Amino acid sequence: MKVKVVNKGANALPEYATPAAAGMDVRANIPAPIVLKPLGRAIVPTGLFIEIPVGFEVQVRPRSGLAAKKGITVLNAPGTIDADYRGEVCVILVNLSDSDFTVEPGERIAQLVLAPHEVIEWESVEELASSERGEGGFGSTGTK
């Protein structure tokens, strides 16, 4: 699927690392390093502006290597970029480690995943059909 993109950044366009990859790494488009203190967060620009087809969203997801090795993740994961948004793609990074982390210019900071979505049409009713689970939530199905 073709998605229109304007790249105002210093980095190449995101691309898939392997033929079966779902996400493309996106890079920080910053003029100088950003230091994230423990529990600190920052909105990091990418220099990318995209036109997503209606019926799709782009999800902004953490990079597993940054999360596992450094404690860096996307704060609102997965973030959603709607089809009608035309502003710059930015990533909200948070440092969940106990050490400072420096985001370098051009560093891979997140993944972008194109995903289809449905549009809900609500149907107001007086009651819902019963189910085996019922109203059980938050851990009600066990911890096994």
pLDDT given for residue 143 in this prediction: 62
Q: How confident is the model at residue 133 (pLDDT cuts 50, 70, 90)?
A: confident
Average pLDDT over the chain reads 95
Domains and CATH numbers, the chain: 4-13+20-116 (2.70.40.10)
Who contacts 54 (Cβ-Cβ below 8 Å, separation ≥6)?
83
Which pair of tokens denotes residue 63? Answer: 């990079």
pLDDT tens, 123-132?
999 999 999 8
Task: Please check whether residue 58 is in contact with residue 112, taking contact to mean a CB–CB distance below 8 angstroms.
Answer: yes
Q: What is the largest CA-CA distance in the chain?
A: 57
pLDDT tens, 1-16?
999 999 999 999 999 9
d(CA 27, CA 91): 10
pTM for the whole structure: 0.89
d(CA 36, CA 28): 14
